[in-house]
Structure 1
Amino acid sequence: MAEAHQAVGFQFTVRPDGVDLKLSQEVIKNIYLSGVTAWKKRAIQFKNGVLAGVYPASPSSWLIVVIAMMSSLYIHVDPSLGMINAIKDNLPFLKYSTGLQTRAVLSAILFATGLWLFLIYLLRYTLKALLSYHEWIFESHGKMSSSTKVWLSLVKMFSGRRPLLYSFQASLPRLPVPSVDDTIHRYLESVRPLLDSQQYNQMEVLASEFKASMATQLQRYLILKSWWATNYVSDWWEEYIYLRGRTPIMVNSNFYIMDLLYVTPTHRQAARAGNVVHAMLQYRRKLERGEHAPLRALGTVPMCSTQMERMFNTTRIPGIETGEQLFGSGQFNQQTLPLTLFPILTDIVQHLTDRKHLVVYHRGRFFHVWLYTGGRHLLPSELETQFQRILNDTSEPQPGELKLAALTAGNRVPWARTRIKYFSQGVNKVSLDAIESAAFFLALDDEPQGYEPAKTNSLDSYAKSLLHGKCYDRWFDKSFTLISYPNGKMGVNVEHSWADAPIVGHMWEYVAATDCFHLGYTEEGHCKGDVNKGLPYPTRLQWQIPKECQDVIEASYLSAKQIADDVDFHGYLFNEFGKGLIKKCRTSPDAFIQLALQLAQFRDQGVFCLTYESSMTRMFRDGRTETVRSCTSEAVEFVRAMEDASATRFALFRKAADKHQNMYRLAMTGSGIDRHLFCLYIVSKYLGVDSPFLKKVLSEPWKLSTSQTPQQQLNLVDINKFPKYVSAGGGFGPVADDGYGVSYIIIGENLITFHISSKFSSPDTDSYRFGQNIRKAMIDIQALFKTENDKKIVENAKRVPLENGKKYI
């Protein structure tokens, strides 16, 4: 009963002579401290909001402008060209006030404020115009033109000092809408190596018909949206690609990020979880205050930070729009309803603010853990204590509780209906609200995972655990589930709709560095700091799950397990060489790897396929991703030359690599193909018109889907000094039933990690085999450079100078 007594803030007894009131000083103290912290947080958020709102100016600059205007009154100089007098004579609340001097001062202050705001907007739009220049990205690495140097200097000059996370948001340019002609030309160019002559001619006919018929009308609507919305792609991308999907998001949408590859700071599960959760809370505090430094290319060009807003306190909620009820009533049918009123099943992303608790899953039980005490975060040692209490708890799951989270792993429609029917009232609603409103979800697993060099499939098992686990021990709807293993390893499973991988990667880099280099552990492996055993114990969430609901849970679990069991995963560490050697070859590491993937794909399947590589568009406001179609005509020609041992293959590699780099740069600068075609298709559906061309384009399968995980904060850990403190990156499930998903991370100078996924059910794919093909392709391409260098050495050796020093053999 000790916990119950601690929870009582005050007691009172009614007596004949009055009420005897007893207050708990400890609770009153905590209430006071919580209030002080809340008001302090609001004040900091307000201050930082003002700083970001007036950026690149500063609040102090307003005072400078006001003083300058006031000074002009005393030296009888009117820099306003009569506007101060006009304000003084025409504004009612100044016109009839007493005191000529007061009226003049107030008029000067109003004019100075207006001038200050005008200058802010002038600075912002000047910076926006500068940031719309993208020629710098097309220049050769290490070679910067004079115009780009001047541009870079101007950007630095107009960017101000000490920007906060959201300081540049108002200055970022909008994503431009490419012309229809350019998009169709690039699309036809991208499919040319994949189609025979007859198929390509048919596609040309479809494209010509589309341009001649409806393209202009669709493009006009799209341009109108680009003027009105901050980004013409992102909201439709989130809704139609993610939230309207009815298939399970586990494996099909969610992705994962691994822990440090070689280092485990402590093997105590509760201690590691304590440090990592505390580091996440520190990151969240800086995020809510906007105090993180904005990510900037070249250290100067800012990237959009919008996606970071929903990192914490966010859950994907399965939802059924009211259109379904209308359609189900029998009053309407598909012929009488316009397209936009068809019954639509869609999820929503629910983001809350200032959540102060965490929900922890362990051995089939859900626990509620407070993250604050006395107006401050729990210390790592206090979090360790709480998590250890959960690990020591031997209570049994309630009926239906063990596999409850499988509802988030199965199809969305059963989950949406079950949520409404069984979790909209009573204790089930209270417990579900606790999960969905939590800062994030923590799973304390009971089976160790992680990379072990002695075990050939340790990385495979680790990846599958992060990607889907047991199908009921992650809450796949949370923005992310933090996963803790009994050997001290960690990992993250991420819901994809709210953000892309680099956003969570940014947080994970910060957490890993803070955990290892700032918080640290005792010699025994515990969190540093005193142990506070007076904290209230974590509380079990209560459930009343009837048999009918348990049947739905079991069905969702079986559906999810079938998907999970079909995932063929292979993690491969390529350490023969890395970024250092590739850069010495004077080529892009990404282009090198993408061409190796094309060579591996051809050797594995015997044919070329449509290839997806993800590129970011965060140089634009609210930008997310764009597709780079890596299987180009140049890449195909190079691969065929490699298989034929052609003497021209080195030159063909250079040509293919240059082509890939140019396409990647076009995608980054808003001139990609696929997002434009996707939005044109959405507009056509809203207008109720049918385009065979767009339908054909969007139905093409991506049999090879690839993505690079970037390292974004290289300043956090000196890899040269601490070479073992490197991340293993992350990965995702297979996109096509008969294709491969490949994620890779270039770590330091000498390591590249590949995460390869496919399906066991496909007789044509094998993830381990594909990994071996990647290895051989990488080595074969590197050998081209060695051969080329040997040729140069021989040629130079022949150019031996004669004794006179003027003639050569």
Structure 2
Amino acid sequence: MAEAHQAVAFSFQITHEGWDVNFDREVLNLVWQSGIRSWKKRFARFMNSVHNGVYPAQLWTLWLTMSIVIGIHFSGYKVPYDLVTKIMPLLPSNSTKWQLVGSAIVGTAMWLTVIYTIRYTLKLLLMYKGWLYEARGKGARISVKTRVWLLLVRILSGWNKPRLYSFQGSLPKLPLPSLHSTMTRYMRSVRPLLNDENYDKMQQLADDFQNGIGVKLQRYLLLKSWWSSNYVSDWWEEYVYLRGRSPLMINSNFYGIDAILMQPTQVQAARAAAVIHSCLLYRRLVDRQELEPILLQNSVPLCSWQYERIFNTTRIPGVETDRIMHWADSNHIVVYHKGKFFKVIIYRGRILKPREIQVQIQQVLDDKSEPLPGEEKLAALTAGDRSHWAQIRRNLFNKGANKVSLDTIERAAFVVALDDCPYLYDPKNPSQLDKCGKNLLHGKGYDRWFDKSFTLCVGSNGRVGFNAEHSWADAAVMSHIWECVVTDDTTTDRADAAVLTHLWEFVITDEIENRYDSNGDVIGECEIIPPSPIRLQWDIKDDGQKQIEIAALNAEKLINDLDLRIYVHDNYGKGFMKKCRISPDAYIQMALQLAYFRDAGKFSLTYEASMTRLFREGRTETVRPCTIESSAWVRAMEDKGATVDDKIKLLRIACEQHQKSYQDAMCGKGIDRHLFCLYVVAKYLEVNSPFLQKVLSEPWRLSTSQTPHGQTGRMDLHKYPNCISAGGGFGPVADDGYGVSYIIAGEDLLFFHISNKKSSKETDCHRFAEKIEQALKDIKNLFLDKNQLNGTK
């Protein structure tokens, strides 16, 4: 218990000799430094709010405008409309002092008028989405309308360097589609999935809904779209994520994997320290809003709202619904190693340097003490049923050491898991990468704190990965972080936004700028003696230990039922797809449709995630890749009588339709989020809708998602080909379905993360990987055969 005594900063007791006062100056100094840091951050947030509130203008233009108005007024000239003279009767007197005040008021009013005119003009311009439907790339012809629009956007938004949230006030709201358009698109999307009889029944349900209760539900939803900043996001977060009672592990959380072609060091403590330091630098960029927002076409901003909760965030379990807790600041992380939890201070007047953090991590690794009763598998509670975890949390962690230690974990910037096994990759042995993916997705079921925004996982051989909770943000945001971390160049300990632009790319630059010496340790020296890690204390009674063991057994059952295959396709990549003049994403989605049809012998409702971050507080929308066009092409591929030209023609039509569906989803013209919100309104009104119940009960047997790559533009893959990230994955959505995440990692490299449940006799991720491989091969052969027929190479 020595660590607990060291944590006491001040104590006193009454003795027969008087007062006996004891205090720890070091701890009190930490408290003082924490307070100073907190006030600095408050001031910085205030200044950022001012900056974002007047963006794209700068604050100095206000003082310039006021000076000009004062100068004109006292020179005898009349400010436009003689506004100063008109407001003087409203002031106490006509003295020079009050004339200055009047001029300042007029100058401020004129300045605000101009600024908000610019802001709302920019907002109107950003409502235009026609540019999304035009061809891009070299040689693409852009319409005059889009050229003029793009020029105006750049002029109005390019006055000042934007900060992370500078464009939030200028982003338009997510538009609410008309009921008729959504119903039309829905019926078209289910046509290939239903025979004539079932389609007619669904059409009747749709007509009854559209002409009946749907009209009333749409009116309520229209009011919400006017009132709220986003009519989907809050309900999506609450009802899809926070009200879900099933375990987060495998069912909700997702993982990301290291750049597998490189290994800068095999020293676990060194790699952990470097990545932790990169994450902390990224957190500082987010806090200071020095992280530049992502701009499509270098002009169109994406919503940055989700970045706020990357760090210091935990999902708190509840009996009926969870809640997301985000703390403004945290000066520690929590490290888990061999069943023990440690609080590690990472800020002491400044962020600790990588070498200083390595000393702390090594102390954790060298700790030979045994876990306290119930401590080793404690995190299994976060892997299980949410209501069960909420009840245990309420009973077991409501006071004493348990409450303090749990609070320490939940308030941590993030959690680090130091695994006692290596993360291996051998191109000749694909199963090693499969094991690595499974380990990152669920670990042992009790060595990841699944409630935290993310758990940083470090293998014993120095490779890294993460496990992320899903409710606080979407995978694209976490992959952005990961990309920054993997390409970090922090050997000079700089925090310039131009240098540290984004997070998962931070970790990969270990190859570009070697951060380790010949022994594999982090380069640099300790400038201070870093605070020693503090063991978290637990007092878990027998009943609590039994509950933890039950949770661990349930987690083990989930793990044993999961199968995962990470398929590395290095025969060709987006380079060949572009030569075929087909969108790489559409190309892969068609390959998945062909593979699934060959695997299951039928078509299935398919989910592909698309972002809606072109709108304020936008998250995702669903693209339905299984279309009338894609099913026609798949059937042609299985028809021995179909010609090569017919197959290629149908493939192009299917890809064009898929790309249009993806663009529609990005523009707020999707199907599923609209229907979901109508269903929520119906539940609030206690109205029964057979159509909505039917729609929302349909299983997504093929759930897919593309992992974004190169979001920061900091990686030159031609120069540093080993910096390619392998992406990440997730568990299957349906018990008898597949979860497929893919990343277009390079010109000639694709990664597919395929998951399924072993309990399902219909699915096998290893078999499906073979079907994907064959589908990609068959599509390539189509174009090679066509070129051969045409006599071209």
TM-score, shorter chain, exceeding 0.5: yes
RMSD of equivalent CA atoms: 2.3
1:77 and 2:111 matched: no
* Matched residue SS, 1:443: strand
Give the direction of change, closer, same or farther, for the CA distance of 1:17–1:187 in structure 2 (3 Å limit): closer
2:157 is aligned with what amino acid? S
Runs of 5+ in structure 1 lacking a partner? 321-344, 797-809
Give the direction of change, closer, same or farther, for the CA distance of 1:566–1:22 in structure 2 (3 Å limit): closer
1:391 is aligned with what amino acid? L
Q: Which residue of 1 aligns with 2:494?
A: none
For 1:286-325, list aligned pairs within 5 A. Answer: 286-320=285-319
1:780 offset after TM fit, Å? 0.8
Give the direction of change, closer, same or farther, for the CA distance of 1:705–1:27 in structure 2 (3 Å limit): closer
Give the direction of change, closer, same or farther, for the CA distance of 1:429–1:81 in structure 2 (3 Å limit): same
* Matched residue SS, 1:676: helix
Q: Which residue of 1 aligns with 2:190?
A: 191
Q: In the alignment, is the contact (CA less than 8 A) between 1:449 and 1:462 conserved in 2?
A: yes
1:52 and 2:52 matched: yes
1:226 is aligned with what amino acid? S
Per-residue Cα deviation, 1:633-689 (whole angstroms, up to 9, x for no partner): 100000111111411111000100100000000000000000000000100111111
Give the direction of change, closer, same or farther, for the CA distance of 1:24–1:245 in structure 2 (3 Å limit): closer
1:497 and 2:471 matched: yes
1:765 is aligned with what amino acid? T
Match of 1:407 among 375, 378, 381: 381
Mapped to 2, the partners of 1:652 and 1:105 lie a distance apart of 73
Mapped to 1, the partners of 2:586 and 2:84 lie a distance apart of 60
1:762 offset after TM fit, Å? 0.8
Q: Which residue of 2 aligns with 1:541?
A: 536
Per-residue Cα deviation, 1:479-514 (whole angstroms, up to 9, x for no partner): 111111100011100000010011111111111111
Give the direction of change, closer, same or farther, for the CA distance of 1:23–1:439 in structure 2 (3 Å limit): closer
Mapped to 2, the partners of 1:294 and 1:399 lie a distance apart of 46
Per-residue Cα deviation, 1:69-95 (whole angstroms, up to 9, x for no partner): 1122134332341432232212xxx22
* Matched residue SS, 2:733: coil
* Matched residue SS, 1:755: strand
For 1:392-791, list aligned pairs within 5 A. Answer: 392-514=366-488, 515=507, 516=510, 517=512, 520-531=515-526, 534-645=529-640, 646-647=642-643, 648-791=646-789
Q: Which residue of 1 aligns with 2:499?
A: none
Mapped to 2, the partners of 1:30 and 1:245 lie a distance apart of 40
Give the direction of change, closer, same or farther, for the CA distance of 1:10–1:535 in structure 2 (3 Å limit): farther
Per-residue Cα deviation, 1:351-397 (whole angstroms, up to 9, x for no partner): 11111111111111111111112x11111111111111111111111
Mapped to 2, the partners of 1:786 and 1:144 lie a distance apart of 31
Q: Which residue of 2 aligns with 1:221?
A: 220
1:708 is aligned with what amino acid? Q
Match of 2:340 among 365, 368, 386: 365
Give the direction of change, closer, same or farther, for the CA distance of 1:21–1:402 in structure 2 (3 Å limit): closer
Q: In the alignment, is the contact (CA less than 8 A) between 2:264 and 2:514 conserved in 1?
A: no
TM-score (norm 2): 0.93
1:717 is aligned with what amino acid? M
1:110 and 2:105 matched: yes
Q: In the alignment, is the contact (CA less than 8 A) between 1:445 and 1:484 conserved in 2?
A: yes
Per-residue Cα deviation, 1:257-306 (whole angstroms, up to 9, x for no partner): 11112111110001100000000000001101111010011111000000
* Matched residue SS, 2:172: coil
The share of aligned pairs that are identical, in percent, is 52
* Matched residue SS, 2:623: strand
Q: Which residue of 2 aligns with 1:283?
A: 282
1:554 offset after TM fit, Å? 1.5
* Matched residue SS, 2:388: helix
Mapped to 1, the partners of 2:683 and 2:772 lie a distance apart of 40
Q: In the alignment, is the contact (CA less than 8 A) between 2:356 and 2:529 conserved in 1?
A: no
1:465 offset after TM fit, Å? 0.3
Q: In the alignment, is the contact (CA less than 8 A) between 1:184 and 1:207 conserved in 2?
A: yes
Mapped to 1, the partners of 2:196 and 2:6 lie a distance apart of 79
Q: In the alignment, is the contact (CA less than 8 A) between 2:335 and 2:415 conserved in 1?
A: yes
Match of 2:134 among 115, 119, 139: 139
Give the direction of change, closer, same or farther, for the CA distance of 1:7–1:678 in structure 2 (3 Å limit): closer
Q: Which residue of 2 aligns with 1:242?
A: 241
Moved over 6 A (4+): 1-29
Mapped to 1, the partners of 2:24 and 2:250 lie a distance apart of 50
Give the direction of change, closer, same or farther, for the CA distance of 1:81–1:379 in structure 2 (3 Å limit): same
Q: In the alignment, is the contact (CA less than 8 A) between 1:634 and 1:652 conserved in 2?
A: yes
Per-residue Cα deviation, 1:317-341 (whole angstroms, up to 9, x for no partner): 0113xxxxxxxxxxxxxxxxxxxxx
* Matched residue SS, 1:166: coil
Q: In the alignment, is the contact (CA less than 8 A) between 1:34 and 1:376 conserved in 2?
A: no
1:480 is aligned with what amino acid? F
Match of 2:328 among 337, 353, 360: 353
Per-residue Cα deviation, 1:183-219 (whole angstroms, up to 9, x for no partner): 0000000000110000000001001100111111111
Mapped to 2, the partners of 1:214 and 1:12 lie a distance apart of 69
2:520 is aligned with what amino acid? G
Give the direction of change, closer, same or farther, for the CA distance of 1:631–1:310 in structure 2 (3 Å limit): same
Mapped to 2, the partners of 1:305 and 1:151 lie a distance apart of 23
* Matched residue SS, 1:773: helix
Per-residue Cα deviation, 1:115-157 (whole angstroms, up to 9, x for no partner): 2122221111101100000011111232211111111000000
Mapped to 1, the partners of 2:47 and 2:87 lie a distance apart of 30
1:233 and 2:229 matched: no
Q: Which residue of 2 aligns with 1:88?
A: 88
Give the direction of change, closer, same or farther, for the CA distance of 1:630–1:398 in structure 2 (3 Å limit): same
Q: In the alignment, is the contact (CA less than 8 A) between 1:304 and 1:619 conserved in 2?
A: yes
Q: Which residue of 2 aligns with 1:379?
A: 353
Q: In the alignment, is the contact (CA less than 8 A) between 1:3 and 1:537 conserved in 2?
A: no
* Matched residue SS, 2:115: helix
Q: In the alignment, is the contact (CA less than 8 A) between 2:73 and 2:84 conserved in 1?
A: no
Q: In the alignment, is the contact (CA less than 8 A) between 1:385 and 1:533 conserved in 2?
A: no
* Matched residue SS, 2:722: coil
1:59 is aligned with what amino acid? L
Q: Which residue of 2 aligns with 1:167?
A: 166
Give the direction of change, closer, same or farther, for the CA distance of 1:26–1:255 in structure 2 (3 Å limit): closer
Q: Which residue of 1 aligns with 2:492?
A: none
2:224 is aligned with what amino acid? K
Q: In the alignment, is the contact (CA less than 8 A) between 1:275 and 1:519 conserved in 2?
A: no
1:640 is aligned with what amino acid? R
Q: In the alignment, is the contact (CA less than 8 A) between 1:3 and 1:536 conserved in 2?
A: no
Mapped to 2, the partners of 1:10 and 1:703 lie a distance apart of 59
* Matched residue SS, 2:638: helix
1:632 offset after TM fit, Å? 0.3
Q: Which moved more, 1:81-90 or 1:780-789?
A: 81-90
Q: In the alignment, is the contact (CA less than 8 A) between 2:247 and 2:386 conserved in 1?
A: yes
1:750 offset after TM fit, Å? 1.1
Mapped to 1, the partners of 2:250 and 2:636 lie a distance apart of 36
1:680 is aligned with what amino acid? L
Q: Which residue of 2 aligns with 1:801?
A: none
Mapped to 2, the partners of 1:607 and 1:17 lie a distance apart of 87
Mapped to 2, the partners of 1:209 and 1:8 lie a distance apart of 68
1:27 offset after TM fit, Å? 6.6
Give the direction of change, closer, same or farther, for the CA distance of 1:644–1:256 in structure 2 (3 Å limit): same
Q: Which moved more, 1:302-311 or 1:502-511?
A: 502-511
Mapped to 2, the partners of 1:187 and 1:393 lie a distance apart of 58
